[in-house]
Each structure stands twice: as structure tokens, then as C-alpha cells.
Structure 1
Amino acid sequence: MIFTTLRLGAGLLAALISAGAAQAYELPSINLGLTGFVDGAPPPAGPGLYWMSYVQPYQASHFKDAKGQDLPLPNSDISVTPWVNQFVYQSDARWLGGKLGGMLLLPSLLSASLDDGAGGTILGQTQTGMGDPVLGAFLQWDPVMGAQGPVFAHRVELDLTLPWGSYDKSKGLTPGAHATSVEAYWSGTWWVKPEWTVSSRVFYLWNGVNGDPSPTRFASSGITEAHSFQAGQAVHMNLATDYAITPQLRLGLAAYWLQQTTDTKVNGQSLADTQERVIGYGPGVMYSFSADDHLSLNYYTETGARNRTEGERATLRFIHHFR
């Protein structure tokens, strides 16, 4: 699980409420388009310690309601630049036929702005700093081999997000969710040809309770004082296909899809019309300097958003294997 978006806080929610939006925009940061090409395959350099660094600038000027319509917030804009560092250890130890591994993910927010043309009085102020760390354990299976090389490889992982990041309930945008999350995913890669792969990563997300929201955060729903809220569960997916132009260079397309499956709960009660949705798609490139070092770049345009922002994001990812 890799954080790529940020929870919107009390100030922004107040603006959305006044604009007629449902009480949404509540999902925590999740992996939208950070992983892509050859995602289900084992590390090319073999077992050991890997460092993965991600920068993913995101910008949006559309704030969508439950029907996908733009909210009446003219000249509004959100811009964030998260930086994520992930440390992954792939072992040689086996269980159920796969190799055991673990990871630590440390997200942070380098910059953030909410431009409302009024000095932040409508959308609220922003907060930068460390996000919520994530601990994970995984099983990576070796590729199934065919006459021309690998045919299929896959991995499963279970992640725990700890509510230790920076959080201020009065801010319009904050890097921490102030709630525990549990997420599981399955990732697979198919080799259509030795040079052509198709990959997917499918997630299921469960969110815990935030016990310290702004008391007036959900006032428009008739809740005079919010003591707690719980973002809904969600399914999301990354998809990618690439072609190896040379042994070092891959070009392709990537996409992501998010669908919240249950409504947000406030003080233990579900709120209708709070489920989020979005689709993103765009081109990508990956260059392998060696088996130990890889650099990828993707660009996504979003569409079909419900109860969340709709914009564009770029993803720059560097992978290094420590020998």
C-alpha cells in the first residue's frame, strides 16, 4: 500500500458542505497509479533489500459531488506533492510455495496548497509533514516458465497503516488520517510475449475510526457534534501494459480505478451518498540502468470522479537494490 493522495480536512469539508456536497472526500491516502509495469514479478536482482522512492505531484481544479457534477467553487485549485520512501526486503525463506518478504513505507508531504482566491478562508489552510507509516508482509511466487521464458508471476500482501502522521483537525488538508487502516492486495503479471507484459494490482481497503474530528465537520447532515467518523471500505486497482523496445527501455499505458463500497459513518451512523469513485489513465515509460536500478515515469488524467477531486498526476519512481 502506497500513499498518493491526502485526506481533506475540516476546512475543506466545510466549504464542500456550503457548496451543497454530501459528506464525502473522506478516504485516506491510497495507491493510485504508483505501481505499474511488471508489477507482479519478483525483483529482477533477486532477494535482498530494496529502496523505492516515489514523487507524485497532483493538481486538480474540479471538486465533484455524488453525481459527478462540479461543485460551485469557481477558481478553486488543489495542488500537492507527496514523497514516499519504501524499504522492501525479499527473503529466500518460503511458505506456501512463495518467498516471504516485508516492507516499511514512510510517506511525507513536501508541499500542499488550496487556492480559493480568498487566502484560504474558503478551503482552509494546509499542513505538510510526515504521513502515516505502513508496515507490510508479502508472499512472492516465482514465475511460471514457458518455452520462451516467464509466463505468469504473482504476489499477495497485507498492510497495516498506523495513525502516527501529522494531523490537525482544523486544517483543510493534512498528511495524516488519524485512523488505522488495513489493506490487502493481489498483484499479477502476464507475459503475452517475452517483450510484452500485462500487470494488475487489486486492493481491498478497510478503514478504522477517527476519534478526533472537527465537532462541526458534519453539521450539514444534522449532526450537531461529531465525536467520530469512519471512512468507508473501498476496492481499487492499478492496471498496466508495456512493451520492451530494448532490454532496458519499456513503453506502455497504465490506469487506476477506485470505488468506495460502503458509506462513511459518523458517530456510528452511515451517511448516504458518500461513496467515492475515480478513474485515471495515461502513458508511461520505464528505464532499467541495471538489474539493481530502475526509473519509471507515468502521467495520469482522471475522469468519472464522484465525491472527490478530478485532476492530473505524474508519478516518478526510482528503485535501487542494495547488494
Structure 2
Amino acid sequence: MSKLRMPAAAAAMALVSLVPAAQAGEGGGSSYPGGVENFLTGAAPPPGFYVLAYGNVFRADKLKDDSGHDVPLPVFKIAANVVSTRFVYSTPTTLAGGNLMLHAIVPLVDLKVDVPGLSQRKTGLADITFGPGLAFHHSPNLHSVVGFDFVAPIGRYAKGDLTNIGRNYWSLQPLYTVSYLDAAGFNADAKLTFNFSRRNKDTDYRSGNEVYLDYSAGWGLGNGWVLGAGGYAMRQLTSDTQAGVSLANSKGAAFAIGPSLKYDNGKGWFITAKWQREMSVRNRPEGNALWIKTILPF
């Protein structure tokens, strides 16, 4: 829920309907895009209204099974480009010592999927994320946010399509973020998110519950730059179900890491960028992602 939070609907790998060999969430994906967070994830803005822009490029050419082996497909490609706008209202209201915040993320997605004998591309509005949070400033260096996000099934969805830019069900995401900041020293950030998916009424499918840990660590150079690394780890806690029946070997897992940087001019403008490579993947597509975010002055 910080002003630097990446859009929760941005990961294209969460939006694919693939083959039964890889489940781990319906279509091999999730409502939460692992790795969206970067530096300052727990550092919320002062009271006011903010607009942020986010960009994500995701590419994958591997699909992993329950053992982490490649699913033998002669053709498998996912290409996604996402631009999202996030609206944040940091209110002057305090509750339990925290600053009340409200936000909404509106993503536009261009998604293309190729598998043997089939190819499909969809472009448009994806699922919208919104929710409240409480921001705490424990010291000039230590900050945290407790929040609860809702993911609304706004994106276009059609049962049986190869690819969809909407999940067709609601998701609930309680979260906690924390950041330690030092302009000329060590910086560290972590965000813990639980993702609880509701049932897809068109398929009678319910994706299993998941936990994500987004992380970053770096060193401030004292001139506005922070250089380091970041990524995410995820585990699916419960199996997927179809028509109320638990599906064996349907839990997903993944880990990602890559270089990350931030620049802050000290006058209210910043930009962050991160490239991450996925590995140790189970029951999901495996790929690489580039994440960029910045604030829009107005």
C-alpha cells in the first residue's frame, strides 16, 4: 500500500489458460504478480493525492510441471506488455497510530500466447485492485504498512479461450510491508502477501491459497541512487479444486532474483527499475520480467 507499490494485476503469467499438465492456480497463474514490489515498498507518502505510472514487460518460453521439469511443448511463448495507473489518497485520518490510505490500480494489458497449433492475443483493461491500508512511520529510517487489497474481476474473460486478461473471480489479499531506508547506507524492503482466491463460477474452479514474499536489498550511494537486487518467493499453500474436488499435484512455487535500482531527485520525483529471472518454478510458466515505476507530477 505504499506509494511505490506495483500493480497487482500486472503479471501476464497469471492470465493464461494452458494445458492440464501445469495448474498451480487456474491456468497456471495467480491474481497476485510476484515480484511487483521494489525499494520503498513500506514507505508511504504524506497526506495528499498521488498518481503513479507502472510498466511491466514479461516474456516466458518454458512451462514447468510439478517436479520442476519442462513440459515438452514444441511451441510455448508468453509475451505481455502492461501499463498501469495507480491512484493513491493518503488521508490525514489516523487509526491505531497509523495513517489511513486508499488506493486503486487500473492496468491495461497487451497479452499474446502461443502453444502448438494455437495463438491468441488480447488487449484491454485487466482486473482492478483496490483497498485500504494503515501506514506507520516508526523512525526516519523505518516504515511499514498494513493493508487489505481486493482484486475485482473487471478484465475480459471467456471460458475456453487460450488466454484471458481477467481471472473471472474475486481475490482477497491481506498484506504487510516494511522498509528500512538510508540514503547513504543499507536499504531493505519486504512485503508479505496472502492471496485467497474465490471460485470461478464459469468453470467451477478455485485456485489454491498462496503466500508471496517480495524483497529487495541495496546500498544508498548518497546522491539519490540506490543499487541492489530484488525479486520474490512464492508458495501455494492449498491445492486447487474443481467442482469441490481437490486436484493432486496442483501446488505452485517459484523464486526470482535480479538487479534493481532507484533514483530519487529529492524533490518528489523518483524512478525504480528491476529485471528479475524466475527459477525453481513448479506448475507455472517460467520467464523474465522488467518492472519500471515512477510518479506522475500534476
Change (3 A) 1:155 1:167: same
Q: Shift of the alpha carbon at 1:31?
A: 3.3
Q: Alignment partner for residue 37 of structure 1, among 36, 39, 51?
A: 39
- SS of residue in 2 equivalent to 1:247: coil
> Match of 1:256?
232
Partners in 2 of 1:25 and 1:2 — Cα distance?
16
The gaps in structure 1 that reach 5 residues or longer are 145-149, 214-227
Q: Shift of the alpha carbon at 1:51?
A: 1.2
Alignment TM-score, normalising by the size of structure 2: 0.91
Q: Shift of the alpha carbon at 1:233?
A: 0.5
Within-5 A mapping of 1:118-129: 118=117, 120=118, 124-129=119-124
Within-5 A mapping of 1:165-204: 165-191=155-181, 195-204=185-194
> Match of 2:153?
163
> Match of 1:77?
77
Partners in 2 of 1:178 and 1:207 — Cα distance?
10
> Match of 2:3?
none
Percent identity, please: 25
> Match of 1:286?
262
Partners in 2 of 1:320 and 1:80 — Cα distance?
23
Q: Shift of the alpha carbon at 1:175?
A: 1.0
Q: How many equivalent residue pairs?
A: 289
Q: Alignment partner for residue 244 of structure 2, among 238, 244, 268?
A: 268
Partners in 1 of 2:47 and 2:35 — Cα distance?
25
Q: Shift of the alpha carbon at 1:28?
A: 2.6
Name the aligned partner's letter for residue 9 of structure 2.
Answer: F
Partners in 2 of 1:99 and 1:279 — Cα distance?
32
Partners in 2 of 1:284 and 1:184 — Cα distance?
25
Kept after mapping to 2: 8 A contact 1:51/1:320: yes
Name the aligned partner's letter for residue 294 of structure 2.
Answer: F
The gaps in structure 2 that reach 5 residues or longer are 1-6
Alignment TM-score, normalising by the size of structure 1: 0.84
Say whether residues 1:133 and 2:128 are aligned partners.
Answer: yes
Partners in 2 of 1:94 and 1:152 — Cα distance?
18
> Match of 2:113?
114
Partners in 2 of 1:83 and 1:42 — Cα distance?
22
Q: Shift of the alpha carbon at 1:193?
A: 8.1
Partners in 2 of 1:312 and 1:163 — Cα distance?
26
Q: Alignment partner for residue 207 of structure 1, among 183, 194, 197?
A: 197
Name the aligned partner's letter for residue 220 of structure 2.
Answer: A
Kept after mapping to 1: 8 A contact 2:47/2:92: yes
Say whether residues 1:2 and 2:8 are aligned partners.
Answer: yes
Comparing 54-63 and 75-84, the one that deviates more: 75-84
Partners in 2 of 1:188 and 1:151 — Cα distance?
11
Q: Alignment partner for residue 286 of structure 2, among 289, 310, 313?
A: 310
Partners in 1 of 2:221 and 2:22 — Cα distance?
47
RMSD of aligned C-alpha atoms? 1.9
Change (3 A) 1:318 1:158: same
> Match of 1:300?
276
Say whether residues 1:90 and 2:90 are aligned partners.
Answer: yes
Partners in 2 of 1:254 and 1:24 — Cα distance?
23
Partners in 2 of 1:136 and 1:129 — Cα distance?
22
Partners in 2 of 1:125 and 1:320 — Cα distance?
33
Partners in 2 of 1:185 and 1:321 — Cα distance?
28
Partners in 1 of 2:264 and 2:66 — Cα distance?
42
Once the two structures are superposed, residues 217-236 of structure 1 have per-residue CA deviations (whole angstroms, 9 ceiling, x without a partner) of xxxxxxxxxxx111110000
